[in-house]
Structure 1
């Protein structure tokens, strides 16, 4: 995987403008603006906690924190990859007029979603305070988890953004896939309710390991062991390598299809 850092540095001002544009568009004409990044996960957590704690009675210690951690991690992945998928097509007019490295558009989309998620992380700390969970040294691993999640999502986003140029059905298929993926990831349910003969679905789900990393350091006050860390890093790196490879292979003919 050869990443031309000189090109990335050269186009940092463009990346900044694209990220700011995406953030402004997301909250344009919204009265509460960026507060929705904080309120959305809290409101959804409250609703789902009522449903799954009292109706279905999932017996999970500190279910609100368990739930909101899963919501924010999967929510960022879903949002960032979805917006990255349309990044090249939505900037087709600009690409036809001037030469720009095409990867900056999906990269900017993932970065803008990442900035949005950073606001949402405040919701996790609010729930920690509300449920009497003290801040532990394990939270020092949070930046590493965020980098792993960002890199994994960027790799998927790069692949989707290039494939969607040639196959517009990707927009419809990916919506179905993310819904199925959310149910295959223990966001709101405990792992132990999955029958043993179906648990292999979790083991082939890369987001399961990344989400487990976050829950260990936030909810369970546990330092992930070396094998867990290396596995998550490997998952994110493989995603990025595959994403860059697909993007580079397909990008030369983008102009013919956009």
Structure 2
């Protein structure tokens, strides 16, 4: 099923999988050209090396786009596969895994473009980048939890899908993509850290671009919240699983 999901995205196109590389490459190149000077960039990014701010934005977008793709799609997943669910004994909870892996593959391609770009500009990567899986794994579990929760709610009403279309773009500006949490006024940073997506953006930037270790409290708190979302969302989904056949 995962292989079929991956093939559908570029079906009928001439370049096929090359679009998965070409798109992120164009985006990253555009950011580098636009933000190659310090004009209009946050204070935390001024004076940095060439391309640093564009890579920072691109890293944030990789994380947020992975979240947003699942947030948009998850509410309709059960409706999308209603024929299979109704006609056979199908483990509907695996749809979240399939969607998350599909989105994760494209995110990894974008991450590969970012790594190549960083190597070209800096001739190396920080040693902390080897710790990236310790951040990516709990983030993936968090996304699975979000998918299960939205799948369950979306099975009862399609309003959830319309709600995601409305709030995800707004949520993007509450996430430190075009800025850093350090740019947020100090008395508001606590509230900024309540956004787990923003915390993952900051931690991935620290490891991959800045060569810094995330703060222990930030890491432990974010991972703990992610695991709670994962387990409780799974329980929520399984609690209503028997009802989905009647409502989709």
- Under a length normalisation based on structure 2, what TM-score does the superposition of the two structures give? 0.88
2:136 to 146, 151, 174: 146
- Determine the structure 2 residue equivalent to 1:130: 120
Q: Answer yes or no: is the 8 Å Cα contact 1:151–1:236 preserved in 2.
A: yes
Q: Given the alignment of the two structures, is residue 36 of structure 1 paired with residue 26 of structure 2, yes or no?
A: no
Q: Distance in 1 between matches of 2:106 and 2:137?
A: 15
User: Paired residues, what number?
Assistant: 241
- Map 1:229-240 onto structure 2 (within 5 A): 229-240=219-230
Give the CA RMSD over aligned residues.
Answer: 2.0
- Under a length normalisation based on structure 1, what TM-score does the superposition of the two structures give? 0.85
Q: Answer yes or no: is the 8 Å Cα contact 2:128–2:213 preserved in 1.
A: yes
The 4+ residue runs of structure 1 with deviation greater than 6 A are none
- Determine the structure 2 residue equivalent to 1:11: none
2:198 to 208, 211, 222: 208
- Determine the structure 1 residue equivalent to 2:89: 99
Instruction: Point out where structure 2 has 5 or more consecutive residues left out of the alignment.
Output: none
- Determine the structure 2 residue equivalent to 1:24: 7
Q: Answer yes or no: is the 8 Å Cα contact 1:159–1:247 preserved in 2.
A: yes
**Superimposed CA distance per residue, residues 183-209 of structure 1 (whole angstroms, 9 cap, x where no aligned partner):** 101111233443445444412111121
Instruction: Point out where structure 1 has 5 or more consecutive residues left out of the alignment.
Output: 1-17
- Determine the structure 2 residue equivalent to 1:45: 28
Q: Given the alignment of the two structures, is residue 250 of structure 1 paired with residue 240 of structure 2, yes or no?
A: yes
* Cα pair distance change 1:192/1:52, threshold 3 Å: farther
**Superimposed CA distance per residue, residues 58-107 of structure 1 (whole angstroms, 9 cap, x where no aligned partner):** 34131122111101111111113323332211100011111111101122
Q: Answer yes or no: is the 8 Å Cα contact 2:76–2:158 preserved in 1.
A: no
**How many angstroms does 1:137 deviate by?**
1.9
